[in-house]
Amino acid sequence: MERLKLVLQYFQSNSESISNVICVILALVSVKLYTSFDFNCPCLPQYNKLYSLGVMIVPPIILFFLGVLVNRHTGIMMDEWMRPVGHRTKNPAAVKYLFSAMLQRALLAPMVWILVTLLDGKIFICAFSLTVDPTLFSGLPNNTGLDVIKIMAKVPCKEDVIFRNSSFPKAVSRYVRCYSQAIGWSTLLFLIVLGAVGRLVKPCIDDHGTFLQTRYWSNYLDVEQKLFDETCVLHARDFARKCVVQFFEDMREDAVIRLPYPALITNTKDEWEDEEEERLHGISKQEQMDRLLNKWYYSKPELDVTRIAHRPRTCVTWEDRDGKPLFSDV
Amino acid sequence: MDKFRMMFQFLQSNQESFMNGICGIMALASAQMYTSFEFNCPCMPEYNYTYGIGLLTIPPIWFFMLGFVMNNNVSVLAEEWKRPTGKRKKDPTILRYMFCSITQRSLIAPAVWVSVTLMDGKSFLCAFSINLDLEKITGNYSLFRGMSEAERVRLLARIPCKDLFDQQEIRVAASRYIKCFSQACGWMFLLMMTLTAFLIRAIRPCFTQAAFLKTKYWSHYIDIERKMFDDTCKEHAKSFAKVCIQQYFEGISGEIRSFHGHRSSKYDSDDEDEDKRKSDEEKLLGIRAQDDMNKVLWNWHTCKPALALRK
């Protein structure tokens, strides 16, 4: 259990590795979808090509959009691109980096689908059996009364009655599958070579220093967003707890509330109350919270945290009814 | 047992991930239900279409409503909608946000059913076999020679049933044709759903991001506040019960002591008991009578407190 927690914590801390894992899972889903999809060639001249190319193109488009949707970087990139400038200048290099990272990850699952399609060959057979020259093969059924086009269109459906005791459809299928697999392997080789060349040549083209900066600030944006969401969640929890306790205490009998302030003011608050007050960070009203959330979008703060290291402590002064100070933190 | 408790706690703590889990389980249940359901086309002209289309549309409606039932946020939404204003204003954008997120999650299982049904093709075959132009598909123009219109329709209606239709090649060609059409519809449906989701999720930040942050925070707050209130009530009830019972025992022991006239050292409290009693009293937060507690619970709904903490 400890090991599982450590592994989960490692993955959660590193947002890039989570994106990679999700990307791989989507690629596996793509393969599973292909194997469980019941490919059903219509075996009619007018519809074969349309159906096959449809099955080869529409699922990759769907997988691409799914890949963009589940990627966390999409939201961060859109946020950084669309936000008003506020106190913080925009970082177009980070936006470009996030966009290219998101695009690369989103393209993996569609590529996997197309490659699996090509290597399997069914779709190519369905689409291009019409264009094969039947004279290359022997055994073309010539007693059915159908014309050649219609017979070639039926080749993907090997169990059809016109092909009984004939090896013609198997021969044509093997021929077309050959082509399909050749194209598949060439595409795979091309993609791998492209990736390798890109990796090797990039340090020569891009300035590595700028790249390190861009990568750092992209990661920073991601972490900042996550921490903001977490802080909001914790704040909401403490706000709710205090609101509920305050509500209960307000329903007390009047007599208790009218007790005067104790003569001796001491810091007898429990430790856990102190911690809770700290977590609220002084935001204790709906209007304050609304203003905070509005400002977070319209006027993001500058990237400078030296102030918090040296902030002055908030001091409280208790005064009695005449204005005479009884006790002061100052 | 410990492992299960930790998993359960983790899921419960993060309400969104819990709902996503339920959503995923329902989608899988929907796919499993389709595969284990025995499709049984009536193969009669009057009922084919109703059965085929009914099977495509009614289970999704059922799954959609089940999604609403299983979602905890529905009661939170209803409560927030119907409560009197009290000291706290109502925000219609929060209600809209909660309704949208509940609807989005409930739409996944129906979408899975519809796409699996379309990809499989049986329901389209059952519904549309009557409308087929068999002669054009098979190229065999002598199929219906000498048949009346009614007989032709009855023959076409029998296509989905393997055992009722004799000419297997024609049946196979026709079912291939319709299945191909059904799968094309299925892929188009998936493409539309994905594009819609993409437009909503990826393009929305262009328009309403600031307002979105606000509504997300306050709808999460409402959920947490409700949980905190329930937890506080439970703790209060426990402390109330403890103090009530302590007082009863002390009262009885006082009576018994005065009756028997001898002292008992059993109820002399040591420091630990005193501390425990003090903390129980503190947990009561000043509410010590049934009428007061009833007032607390009544006012929580009719007059919710303002969102402004006193320091």
The full DSSP string for B70-93 is H-THHHHHHHHHHS--TTS---HH
> What is the number of other CB atoms lying within 10 angstroms of the CB of residue A116?
16
How does pLDDT run across B178-235, given as a tens digit for each residue?
Answer: 999 999 999 999 999 999 999 888 777 777 777 888 888 888 888 888 888 888 888 8
Least confident segment among A171-180, A268-277, B47-56, B228-237: A268-277
Place of tokens 């291009």: A128
Question: How much is the mean pLDDT over chain A?
Answer: 82
Domain boundary among A205, A240, A267: A205
Q: In the structure encoding, which two tokens stand for residue B148, read together?
A: 């009346």
In the predicted model, is pLDDT for residue A270 greater than 70? no
The model carries a pTM of 0.79
Given its phi and psi angles, is residue A25 left (phi above 0), alpha (psi -120 to 50 degrees) or beta? alpha
- Whether residues A75 and A147 share a domain: the answer is yes
Q: Are A296 and A228 in contact (CB under 8 A)?
A: yes
Work out the average pLDDT over A127-138.
Answer: 87
Residue of B nearest to A251 (CA): B296
CA distance B263 to chain A (A): 35
- A4 part of a folded domain: no
CB A80 within 8 A of CB A90: yes
Query: Running DSSP on this structure, what letter comes out for residue A325?
Result: E
| Six token digits for residue B172 | 């196979």
Tell me the chain A residues in contact with residue B6 when contact means C-beta distances shorter than 8 Å: 1
Q: Which residues of chain B make contact with A161, given a CB cutoff of 8 A?
A: 169
- Interval B2-11: pLDDT, tens: 666 665 555 5
At B85, the pLDDT band (50, 70, 90 cuts) reads confident
Q: Which residue of B has its CA nearest to A295?
A: B210
Task: Provide the shortest C-alpha distance from residue B286 to chain A (in Å).
Answer: 6
How confident is the model at residue B238, as a pLDDT?
84
Whether residue A273 is found in the same domain as residue A311: yes
**Domain assignment present for A151:** yes
Higher pLDDT, B184 or A159: B184
| Chain B residues touching A273 at Cβ < 8 A | none
pLDDT surpasses 80 at B131:
yes
Q: Where residue A279 falls among pLDDT bands split at 50, 70, 90?
A: low
Please tell me whether residues A317 and A239 are part of one structural domain.
yes
Q: Are the beta carbons of B198 and A256 separated by less than 8 Å? A: no
Looking at residue A302, its pLDDT comes to: 66
**Domain assignment present for A304:** yes
Of all residues in chain B, what percent carry a pLDDT higher than 70?
A: 86
Which pLDDT does position A12 carry in this prediction?
A: 61
Burial (0-12, 13-18, 19+ Cβ within 10 Å), B91: middle
Same domain for A147 and A243? no
List Cα–Cα distances, A148 to A165, A167, A176, B176, in angstroms: 18, 16, 17, 20
Is residue A118 predicted with pLDDT exceeding 70?
yes
Chain A hits for B308, CB-CB cut-off 8 Å, are 284-286
A89 with A231, same domain: the answer is no
Burial class (CB in 10 A: 0-12, 13-18, 19+), B128: buried
Question: Which three-class secondary structure state does DSSP give residue A86?
Answer: coil
* Mean of pLDDT values over B158-173: 85
Question: Which residues of A are less than 8 Å from B197 in CB distance?
Answer: 65, 69
Greatest mean pLDDT range, A48-57, A150-159, A285-294: A48-57
Which residue in the set A78, A161, A293 is minimally distant from B169, CB to CB? Answer: A161
Q: What is d(CA B264, CA A174) in angstroms, rounded to the nearest whole number?
A: 100
Residue pLDDT, tens place only, A12-42: 667 778 888 889 999 999 999 999 998 989 9
**Which whole number is the average pLDDT over A124-136?**
89
Q: Is the pLDDT of residue A157 over 80?
A: yes
Contact A78 B309 (CB under 8 A): no
Answer whether B25's CB lies under 8 Å from B144's CB. no
pLDDT of residue A62: 96
User: pLDDT value at position B10?
Assistant: 56
A151-160, B41-50, B107-116: lowest mean pLDDT where?
A: A151-160
What 3-state class would DSSP assign to B168?
helix
Phi and psi, residue A285, nearest 5°: -130, 155
Q: Name the least confident of A49-53, A213-217, A302-306, B133-137.
A: A302-306
The answer as to whether A19 is a domain residue is yes
Residue A59 above 60 pLDDT? yes
| Contact between A329 and A316 (Cβ < 8 Å) | yes
Residue A295 has pLDDT above 80, yes or no: no
Question: Is A76 within a domain?
Answer: yes
Per-residue pLDDT tens for A297-324? 777 676 666 665 565 566 667 777 777 7
Residues A68 and A129 in one domain: yes
A289 and A319 share one domain: yes
Q: What's the whole-number mean pLDDT along residues B280-284?
A: 76
CB B71 within 8 A of CB B105: yes
- Characterise B207 by phi-psi region: left (phi > 0), alpha (psi -120 to 50), beta (else): alpha
Let me know: does A191 contact A136? Beta carbons within 8 Å. Answer: no
Q: Give the structural domain span for A315.
A: 216-329
Is residue A145 pLDDT above 80, yes or no?
A: no
Which alpha helices (H) appear in A206-298, and where do they start and end?
208-250, 254-257, 271-280, 286-298
Res A58 pLDDT > 90: yes
Residues A224 and A185 grouped into a single domain: no
The C-alpha R_g of chain B, in whole angstroms, comes to 33
Q: How far apart are CA B102 and CA B62, in angstroms?
A: 15
Q: % helix / strand / coil in chain A, to the nearest 5? A: 70, 0, 30
Helix (H) or strand (E) holding A319: strand A317-319
What's the number of domains chain A is made of? 2
Out of B3, B179, B232, name the one closest to residue A244 (CB). Answer: B232
Mean pLDDT of chain B, nearest integer: 82
A224 shares a domain with A148: no
Is there a domain that residue A316 lies in?
yes
Provide the pLDDT confidence category of residue A125 given band limits of 50, 70 and 90. very high
* Cβ atoms B218, B91 nearer than 8 A: yes
Is A1 among the domain residues?
Answer: no
| pLDDT at residue A259, rounded to an integer | 42
The pLDDT of residue A256 is 40
Residue A189 lies in a domain: yes
**What was the pLDDT predicted at A258?**
38
For B175, other C-beta atoms within 10 Å of its C-beta total 22
Question: What ipTM goes with this model?
Answer: 0.78
A54 to chain B: nearest residue by CA? Answer: B184
- Are A40 and A151 members of one domain? yes
Number of helices (H) and strands (E), helices first, in chain B?
Answer: 13, 0
Partner-chain contact A160 B172, CB within 8 Å? yes
Contact B94, B80 (CB under 8 A): yes
What local confidence, expressed as pLDDT, does residue A255 receive? 38
The answer to whether A157 contacts B176, with C-beta atoms less than 8 Å apart, is yes
Bridge partners (DSSP) listed for residue A146: none
Q: Are residues A138 and A101 part of one domain?
A: yes
Model confidence pLDDT, tens digit, residues B31-84 = 899 989 988 899 888 899 999 999 999 999 999 999 989 888 888 888 888 887
Same-domain check for residues A198 and A253: no
Contact A79 B228 (CB under 8 A): no
**In this predicted structure, what is the pLDDT of residue B115?**
94
CB-neighbour burial class of residue A193 (10 A; exposed 0-12, middle 13-18, buried 19+):
exposed
